Structures are given as C-alpha cells and as structure tokens.
Amino acid sequence: MTQLAEFSDYQRVYLDETGFDRYLFRPYARSPKGQIVKAQISGKRYRRLSLVSAQVGNRLIAPMVYQNTMTGVFFEAWFQ
C-alpha cells in the first residue's frame, strides 16, 4: 500500500465489470389476500446485461454495456 500511495490519482486506473439480471422476482403470483408469496423464480436463463468501465481520478472512462460474456479476448478489445 505504501508503494501505491506514491502514485498520483491520475496515474492510477481502477476498472470493474458487473452484470445485471433483469428477471429477479415474480411479477405475478397467487396467494390469499394480504399474504406475501415466497417462492423461487424460474431457473430459466434470461439475457443478462453487463457493464465494464474504468476510473481515472474522478472521471469514468470507456464505459461499455454489452450482452456477451467477458473473456480475455473481449477484455483486450475493450481495453484498446
């Protein structure tokens, strides 16, 4: 950590990738009035959105939303 502290904010680049599932809950279900339905959602796979971006100082750079899987080749293409 002491070595990292030697770099200014503009010499450090932080990057992250995350995914979003669009189907996380049941939009409709039946139950007696006033009772909450507690049930698992379908195991069916739905299209997932992912986001990758980097941060230099206070700026976000190269944000990209995609539907593919992040592979090494895909990461290198984004990084360039």
Would you state the structure tokens that stand for residue 23, as one six-digit string?
């189907």
When pLDDT is cut at 50, 70 and 90, the band that residue 64 belongs to is very high
Whether residue 10 has pLDDT greater than 70: no
Domain tally for the chain? 1
pTM of the model: 0.62
pLDDT at 4: 67
> 13-33, pLDDT tens digit by residue?
899 999 887 776 677 788 888
> 37-61, pLDDT tens digit by residue?
887 776 666 778 899 999 988 899 9
Q: Is residue 56 situated within a structural domain?
A: yes
Q: Is residue 7 situated within a structural domain?
A: yes
Q: What is the 3-state secondary structure (H, E, C) of 1-52?
A: CHHHHCCCHHHCEEEEEEEEECCCCCCCCCCCCCCCCCCCCCCCCCCEEEEE
How is the beta sheet containing 48-56 ordered, strand by strand? 13-21, 48-56, 59-66
Structural domain boundaries enclosing 17 = 2-25+41-79
